[in-house]
Amino acid sequence: MTWPGALPALLAAAVAVAGPGLLATAPVRAGVLPRVSLAALVGTGLSGGAAAVAGWAGVPFHAWQVWAMASLVAIVIAFVRRRLPRDGIAPTPPLWALGAAWAAGALLLGSVAFAGVPDPDRISQTYDNVFHLSAVSAILDGFSGSPLTLRSLIETEAPGIAYYPAAWHLLVAMTVQLSGATVAVAFNAVWLAVGVLVWLPGVAWLAQAVLPRAFARTAGLIALPLGAAFGSFPYALLAWGTIYPTGLAHALLPASLALTVLAVRSAVAAPSQHRRRGWLVAAGAAALSATALAFAHPRVLPTWVLILVPFATACLAGTFSRAWRRGGRARSRAVAALGAGAVFVASGAGAAFAYAVAVLGLFDEPLEQRLDGPQAQAVQAPLDGVRQVALQQTMTGAGDAVTAAAPLLAAVVVLGLVATLRRARTRWIAVSFLLLAALFVLAAGSDGAVAKLATGVWYKDRFRLAAALPALGVPLAAYGILVVSRAVLRLRGGSPSGRGRRETTIAAVAAAVVAVTSCVTLAFSGTTAAIAGVFTLPAERAQWEIVSQKQIDFMDHVVREVVPEDQRVLGDPWDGSALTQLFAGREPVFPHVNGQWDHHRRVLAWDLPEIHSDPEVCAALDALRVRYVLYNPHEFGGGDPAGNHFPGPHAAIAEGLFTVVATDGESVLYRIDQCGSLPR
């Protein structure tokens, strides 16, 4: 399939990503950018909620369930909309200008990401994606898409709740259901739809929300192309991992920040008779943001909290200062509120510490033995991290490689940082950005105890921390450009009439130049090549990849034809057999290379060669309805660094225990005859 041929899938992905949220929030009064951004948050919550209800009811997930829930929410909002605060954002820029800026950002984003990927039906051949592909395939075949139980796909003995953030998988499943596209095409279509309809409007809305009101209208316009200019997000998470759910959560992060900031500011500024309602709305906004992020990936919730802590501190300090100056009862209430807040914060910190000790086992083993995986290891000196943040050099995702510097982008971010520090109302943005930058520097540059304690909630993963920087980097870059544009106008002088239009023109041209030069730098200094690398599809004999085209064809034509629909396929998931449900429509015994398996699966993973002497082997094969083994002589990525946890199929095949049914000279499908026919 060609990229133009994927247009139906792209349109379906756009409908899946934005449609339910737009329907649910149709009665809300808002401009274009806040409306689309809010729709993304609401739509994510709706998909997770609908899937949870469907899972509880025992029915398969389908797109219509999300639309039905969206319709109900729209009716509720229509009844209460008079009580909702009006949107306080500056007027929407002219639609033609907004559309042009949005299209430019979309074009840049798609070009940097997929210029090196020749067709849209390729998969990211990475560790995490084995599970994501298997999860979507299972949901489409009737497995529960509920986030409350999705993890049971790989924790097959998990009782009750087995939570896994399902929003990404549900969006892809909806896209397949709406378009008929393959899962592989739907993955790439949804990634583009999320980038264009969630990330770009989200950072534009955030720029409008947090920058000075005089700049808000133009800030939203120029933030759209700038949203495609940062390498650490959205591109690095496509090459590293590939961790699609985390990418979705980071795409939602700007909208969740904008919504929360606006709601809190509205509550703080509300007249006393409306303040309670204002704080209820703020609590609802925070709850919506947290729910959407939790359904996308809860590990981004700490990032959301970290960014908001300086904002909340600034709001509280301002409120306390005003109350103190008024004196009397206002001062007494402020002191009491401050004390209560201190108790709340201390209680929260204590609860977090208790959770870390009791649930995460903080003291179960020495700290130096924790967080030592590939994603957590320090790969550079701390000063290298500082330089990368300052010069906008970003990790490509291919080993330890970083891109060339983007001097124009770096300059406007620094200018924006300085400008925010000079204003009390925006100072928190700089503080939050510098906090994130410091955590990234620690994660990438140190394996010490301080680095592990500070970044452990992010798995000490430098890519996850770096991905948060553009959420604030885009507003900072927009602010820097706006400051320069206003300075240029002052130097040029001229008539005051039309000054706003001239400022917008200068800022738009500058933003386009910055965005294009940065994207060219990313494309030609490693980002595009790194993404292309993980989408490599060898014609045959995969080595480091999960599958080759020849393997895919064998599964599609042979496994699909030979193995009955009601049977599972056994194999070592490291050789590509985990993806039989994706490519052959037959459920694998092991849908991921890692999991907590039930007794029957453990027997097959380890004791399959004992099929003649151990009756538990045939019992396990019967219980799981298995009579075929799929084998390919490779282990992607060099195999499990922790050792082979699926030696049974290899040993049994090496001993010649099973009957060859079909082979293409590379993949082999075996039949297990020792246990007789499957019981009915």
pLDDT digits (tens, 9 = 90+) for 527-553: 999 999 999 999 999 999 999 999 999
In a domain, 341, yes or no: no
Domain match, 159 and 237 both:
yes
Of 480, 503, 532, which residue is a domain's last? Answer: 532
pLDDT score of 241: 81
Domain match, 415 and 527 both:
yes
pTM for this structure?
A: 0.95
570 by DSSP, 3-state: which? strand
Asked whether the predicted pLDDT for residue 82 surpasses 70, the reply is: no
In angstroms, rounded to a whole number, what is the distance separating the alpha carbons of residues 268 and 265? 5
In angstroms, rounded to a whole number, what is the distance separating the alpha carbons of residues 590 and 595? 8
- The residue range of the domain holding 617 is 549-671
Contact 568, 622 (CB under 8 A): no
In angstroms, rounded to a whole number, what is the distance separating the alpha carbons of residues 119 and 3? 6
**pLDDT tens digits for 500-512?**
788 899 999 999 9
In a domain, 580, yes or no: yes
Token pair listed for 669: 């499908």
Domain match, 58 and 194 both:
yes
In a domain, 563, yes or no: yes
Of 298, 320, 341, which residue is a domain's last? Answer: 298
**pLDDT tens digits for 331-353?**
777 777 677 667 777 777 777 67
Domain match, 280 and 184 both:
yes
**pLDDT tens digits for 431-455?**
999 999 999 999 999 988 888 888 8
Asked whether the predicted pLDDT for residue 133 surpasses 80, the reply is: yes
Contacts of 263 (CB under 8 A, 6+ apart): 85, 278, 281, 282, 284, 285, 286
In angstroms, rounded to a whole number, what is the distance separating the alpha carbons of residues 233 and 248? 11
Bridge partners (DSSP) listed for residue 395: 402
Domain match, 517 and 658 both:
no
**pLDDT tens digits for 222-264?**
999 999 999 999 999 999 988 999 999 999 999 999 999 999 9
In a domain, 610, yes or no: yes
Domain match, 128 and 241 both:
yes
In a domain, 294, yes or no: yes
Comparing C-alpha atoms, which of 372, 371, 114 is closest to residue 239?
A: 114
Asked whether the predicted pLDDT for residue 667 surpasses 90, the reply is: yes
Domain match, 525 and 599 both:
no
359 by DSSP, 3-state: which? coil
In a domain, 524, yes or no: yes
Domain match, 104 and 64 both:
yes
Of 298, 333, 362, which residue is a domain's last? Answer: 298
Rounded to 5 degrees, φ, ψ at 154 are: -120, -5
DSSP H helical ranges for 446-461 = 449-455
Domain match, 528 and 631 both:
no
Which pairing describes strands 626-631 and 668-671: parallel, antiparallel, or unpaired?
Answer: antiparallel
Domain match, 194 and 256 both:
yes
pLDDT score of 89: 45
Domain match, 499 and 567 both:
no
Alpha-carbon distances of 649 from 127, 413, 446, 598, rounded to whole Å:
21, 54, 41, 17
Domain match, 56 and 115 both:
yes
Q: What's the one-letter identity of residue 507?
A: A
In a domain, 358, yes or no: no
In angstroms, rounded to a whole number, what is the distance separating the alpha carbons of residues 172 and 47? 11
Token pair listed for 498: 């039309």
In a domain, 522, yes or no: yes
CA gyration radius, the chain: 27
Token pair listed for 109: 């984003």
Asked whether the predicted pLDDT for residue 87 surpasses 60, the reply is: no
Asked whether the predicted pLDDT for residue 88 surpasses 50, the reply is: no
**pLDDT tens digits for 348-375?**
777 767 766 666 566 666 666 677 777 7
Provide the domain count of the chain.
3
Q: Which whole number is the average pLDDT over 123-132?
A: 96
pLDDT score of 83: 62
Region label for 357, one of left (φ > 0), alpha (ψ between -120 and 50) or beta (otherwise): alpha
Contact 245, 165 (CB under 8 A): yes
With 0-12 CB in 10 A as exposed, 13-18 as middle and 19+ as buried, what is 406?
buried
